[in-house]
Amino acid sequence: MSVQILNFNNAQRAVLNVVSCLQSEQDLEDLKRTLMKFMNERMQREMDKLWDSGSWSEEKLEAIKIEHLRTSYYED
């Protein structure tokens, strides 16, 4: 029988410590909301950096709106 050893980084250990303290479904929902807020703020900062650097623009945003990204599964 093979034993797998997991090595967690500091962030993963911190999250596991928080999760181990949850006592209710409400606690879980609150944690999910907090984590989502954290990720949303992080993504917004990254998007702001792209916008400020010129890597992202109104023109690129408009181009994405009309771009066809679906994969065709039918042969014509």
- What are the tens digits of pLDDT across the range 9-27? 999 999 999 999 999 999 9
Distances, alpha carbon 58 to alpha carbons 51, 61, 62, 63, 66, in Å? 9, 5, 6, 9, 13
Q: Give me 22's structure tokens.
A: 């949850």
Where are the domains positioned within the chain?
10-66
CA distance 37 to 43: 10
**49 exposed, middle or buried (CB, 10 Å; 0-12, 13-18, 19+)?**
exposed
**pLDDT for the residue 29:** 96
Q: 7 versus 72: which is more confidently predicted? A: 7
